[in-house]
Structure formats: C-alpha cells, structure tokens
Amino acid sequence: MQKQVAGLHKNVGRASPRPASKSLLREIKKNWIAYLFILPAMVGIFAVILVPLVQAIVISFKRYYILDILREDPPFVGLANYAAILSDPQFWYSLKITVWFTFACVALTMLFGLLIAILLDQDFPGKDIVAVSVLVPWVIPRVASSILWKWIYDDQFGILNYMLSKIGLKSFASFPWLSRAGSAFWAVIIVVVWQSVPFIAVSLLAGLKTIPNEVYEAAEIDGAGFWQKTTLISIPMLRNLITILIVMSTIWDFKVFDQMFVMTEGGPAGSTMVLGIYTWMMAFGRLQMGLASALAMIMFVLVMIVTVIYLKLLMREETL
Amino acid sequence: MRNPKLGRRALLKYTVIYVAAAAVMFVSLFPFLWMISTSFKPTSETFTRIPRLIPKNPTLDNYKMVLGETMIPKYFLNSLYVAVLTTAISIIVASLGAYGFSRFRFPGRTPALIMILGVQMFPSQVIIIPLFIVMKNLALLNTHKSLLVSYTTFTLPLTVWMLKGFFDEIPRELEEAALIDGCSKLGAFTKIVLPLSLQGIVASAIFAFIGAWNEFMFAMTFINLEELKTMPVGLTSFFGRFTVEWNPLMAASVLFTIPSLIFFALVQHNLARGLVAGAVKG
C-alpha cells in the first residue's frame, strides 16, 4: 500500500517539466519558497562541512605546527606535506592495514548479514526472539561495546580465554589478544563485524521480504531446493541492494576510529594504526596539522572514489 | 507430514534452523549479558578462574559506586543535554529541508540532494582539523556549543534524507486541498504533513539522538574539562592505566546503553527504512 503511494508520487514528481535554461530565472522565482525551506539545512552543511573541507585543503599545503602559530602565520610549503606523507613508511603500512581491515570487515559482515537475513526470512516458532536478539550488538554504543570486548579479551580473567581453554584449547589460557600485533588486528575486526552485522542483516531481510512468494513457489514446483532458491533467486534479485550495502560498509569501515582507538589506540607498537587513527594522532597527538590535513585529504580522496561509485549505484536505483 | 521422506526433510530443516538460531542468539546476546552480569558482581567474583554468568552474590555496589563516587552521572547528563538538543535542532531544520526537497522541483534540487548524500560519507578526520581551529579561534573549545554545532550538522544529511522519504509517501492531494481552502504553504506543512509523518519524525529523531549519544572523536578532541565531558569520553578516561576495575566500568557501560536500548525498542519496525537511502524500497 505504502509502496503504491510512493510510486504514485514519483510519477507526479516526474511529470513536472524540466526547466529550459531560458526560463531558469522564472523557475527559481516560482519556487522561491522551496529555497527558504532548505536554507537552514544548506547553510549548516555549507558552514560546518563544506567550508572546513576547503580549509583542510588549504592547511594541507601549509606547515601548520600548532605550537608555532603563536609566533607566526603558518607558511605555505607547496606539496611538501604530501611528499613527506608519501615517503613515510608508517603511512604505507597504515594504508595497507586499513585496506585489509576494511576488506575483512566488509566480507565477514556481508557473509554473516546475509546468513542471518536468510535465517530470519524462514518461518519458525520463536523467530521474533531471534530477530530481536540480533539487534542487540547494534544497540550498545560503540565505545561501551569496545570496553566490554576489552574485558572479554582480558588475558587473565577474560571469558573468551576461559571458554577457549574449556573446550580444550589450552594454549589460549592466558592469551593476550590485544597486546599482540596479529591478534589485536583480528580482535578489533571481530568487534566491528559484531556491531555491523545487525544493520546489514535487517536491510537484507527487508530486501528479501520484497521478493514475492510466487517466485519461490514457482521455483519449488520446478524442483529447486533451498540452496538453489538462495543462490539463483534471492541473491541475484538483491544484487543492487547487496552492492549498495557493500559500498556503504566499505566507506564506514575504512574510516574506523572508535573501536580501534578504545581497544588498541593503534598499538601494540603501531601495528593497528589504521589511517583514521594515524590522521587523528598526527593532528592532536603530534600537533602537526599540516601533515595531518594532507593525510586526511588522501583519506578523503580514497573515500570519495568509493562514494562516487555509491552515488552512481543509488541514482540507478531510484529517482531522487 | 504423512510422507516419511518429507517428514525427514522438515526435521533436517528445523534442526539446521534451530542450531543456526541458537548460534546467532549466543553470539549476539552473550557479550551483552556478560556486561550486565559483571556489573552486578562483587570484585571477588570477577577475578576468579571459574567465571559464572549468574552472580553468586549479586550486588548493587558497582552502581552505587558509579553513581555516587564518580563523574559518571555528570557525563551522563552532559551526553543527554547534547544529544537532546542536537536532536531537536536537527529535526526542525531537517523537516523544513526535507519538505522543500519532497514537494518542490526547483533548479539546483538534484545537485543539492547529491551533495547531501555525498557529505554523509565524508571522513570526519577531514573536517575535524579545520573545525578544531575554528572552534579554538571562536573560543568554543571546551563548550557544549562546539559539539552541538558539529553534531547537528553531521546528523542533517541522514535526517533530511529519512524525512524526505517519509514526506514523499504522503499524498500531495491532502495539502492541495488545504491550499485551496486558503491555508499557506507553511500552514499546509505544519498542519497536514508534520502530523501525518509523526512516525517518520520519531524514527529520524531517534537516529539523530543515537548519533549524538555515540559520538566519540569530536567529543574527545573538543573537550577536556572533566565537568563537560560526555559519556563516551568519560568512560574511556575512567580506565585506570594499570588497574582496571571491570565491575564499575561495566555498570557505567550498562547505564550508557540504557537510553539507546529504549530508543531502539521504540523504532524497531522502522529500523531499515530510510537508512539505506531508499534502496530497500524494492
């Protein structure tokens, strides 16, 4: 019903003619009240997001060490900040682990999200309890869940090591998850995936619900089993939604900060220093705003490439 | 079920479903239950080799300690203040904007919408450096205003987008009738569209609230006065460097989770809507 209304409205929207360039001024005058409606939101976005973005570009070309500002205006140094970043081994290391981190998080989140969505699309007694439980990791604030998992990962008294040694993995009896390079990386991935799966599962479930039952019934008559129905109907029909969710998660996970900061602060010994943390540390730890802005701009360009893909996909999906 | 082959298949199906459901529930719920459990345990039951989920001697001491002897109540109120104000401003500004986008086809509309979708994806690391400098120059560091300005703006893209989706679903004919009856455009908006999309407003408000309630990086960067800190920053500074008191820490985490738990419960059914920017419309 709601969908019909939305569809109707879309047609109404499309029916209005595109303004020819000659009558542009008339179109603007006719719709002056629309500009009034969007004005406060646009002013906010301009002043607090777009203007700072331009400032960040400017700062990235300056030597902007915050303690020097009291004495002199930060001088322009051309591309020196970018050159310094690109020859900084820590940057390349951070970029590498950020890409791996993002890839692992997105792959695992999508896999578990899809499995849970398929599970919740089945009819079975007690389904509602499962559906509500699935949401719980999403509800816990990121910082709270990072602290909670730090406690779970605790080497001496953490419940994870207790459980692992209970099922026979004695070598984990006091395994220091967060103070070893490799395991700290994966430990944070687990937490991020744990928190991201609910949203993905809920979105995919909403998508699965839009597939008419008749499609499945027809496939059943043709002898399709569960596996065929999933891989030949559900996943192909949700292809666009799945792509959009992958792109969204990629952007989110690439920017990861909270969980990593609370759980490892980029450590041990810089081994989990993802770009998000490295940039922040450069700005507010070392107070090198120029270098940090150059780092942030590199992050920005990488995220924007993915964002453009996202917007292209979205525009294909629906009229704005 | 009379067909034995079918019966066996159904049995297999339900076995798989329930094993999967049990695994999903365990992984989703156990950490949360462990947080609650730890928050009600005395220290002696925490630093033990054989942990139990149900405390042997449950105690409220951790909560008493957190509420009575720490800054946590202050952090909590700060967070509440910032999040509630952010939500209120964001919803007023966003509902006006969303109405403009939903009901008018004006030059510049599509670029503006694309921009709104685009800025949502910006890494905050890009914005935080110039914003920090601006806040410093305006002497707004260590004020809640710095957070209010940032949070309101960052929630706008999402709230505008969600509300536009809800407004799009209200038939225009209703307002047109009101306009014919001599109602102004703003009147049609406040008297007809807003009441009809109350559900959408509640959902968007909750997302704005949770965004502000959760935010960590800006709060940590802009504020270092103890009495102004918000919950996420306060909680992390609650960590002792060497001795970690998990029980009160978990009690504080439970308190921190309660508001978002309540709000999530309220919007359960609208969770996916709007968030995937309409992609779930099918």
Among A27, A124, A207, the residue with its CB nearest the CB of B107 is: A27
Query: In which residue are the tokens 């685009």 written?
Result: B118
Q: What is the pLDDT of residue A224?
A: 84
| Residue B30 and residue B85 in one domain | no
| Residue B75 and residue B202 in one domain | yes
| Residue B125 and residue B202 in one domain | yes
* pLDDT tier, B171 (very low <50, low <70, confident <90, very high otherwise): confident
| Residue B249 and residue B272 in one domain | yes
| Residue B218 and residue B135 in one domain | yes
Q: What is the mean pLDDT of each run of 10 residues along chain A (320 residues)?
A: 37 47 82 93 95 94 81 85 96 96 97 95 89 92 96 92 89 88 94 96 90 88 86 88 91 95 91 96 94 96 90 73
Q: Is B212 a residue whose pLDDT tops 70?
A: yes
Q: What is the pLDDT of residue A4?
A: 36
What's the domain range around B14?
4-59
Pick from A27-36, A113-122, B113-122, B261-270: least confident: B261-270
Q: What is the pLDDT of residue B2?
A: 53
| Residue B126 and residue B233 in one domain | yes
In a domain, residue B64? The reply is no
In a domain, residue B65? The reply is no
Q: Do A145 and B101 touch (CB under 8 A)?
A: no
| Residue B124 and residue B251 in one domain | yes
**Residues 252-281, chain B: which have Cβ within 8 Å of A?**
253, 256-257, 260-261, 264, 268, 271-273, 275-281
* pLDDT tier, B197 (very low <50, low <70, confident <90, very high otherwise): confident
Entry pTM: 0.88
Among B97, B129, B221, the residue with its CB nearest the CB of A37 is: B97
Whether A92 and chain B come into contact, CB under 8 Å, resolves to no
> What ipTM was reported for this prediction?
0.89
Chain A: nearest CA to B31, how far in angstroms?
7
Task: Count structural domains, chain B.
Answer: 2
Q: Do B281 and A47 touch (CB under 8 A)?
A: no
What angle, rounded to 10 degrees, do the helices at B72-103 and A32-45 form?
A: 150
Q: What is the pLDDT of residue A171?
A: 83
Token pair for A318: 């629906």
**Residues 139-178, chain B: which have Cβ within 8 Å of A?**
149-150, 152-154, 156-157, 160, 168-172
Q: Do B268 and A132 touch (CB under 8 A)?
A: yes
Token pair for B254: 């439970």
Kindly identify which residue of chain B lies nearest to residue A195, measuring between CA atoms: B28
| Residue B55 and residue B74 in one domain | no
The CA distance from B260 to B210, in Å, is: 6
Interface with B, mutate which of A139, A145, A167 (most B CBs under 10 A):
A139
Pick from B69-78, B88-97, B124-133, B195-204: least confident: B195-204
CATH number assigned to the domain comprising residue B162: 1.10.3720.10
Q: Domains along chain A?
A: 90-145+185-317 (1.10.3720.10)
Q: Tens digits of per-residue pLDDT, B227-260? A: 999 999 999 987 654 467 899 999 999 999 999 8
Token pair for B43: 């220290």
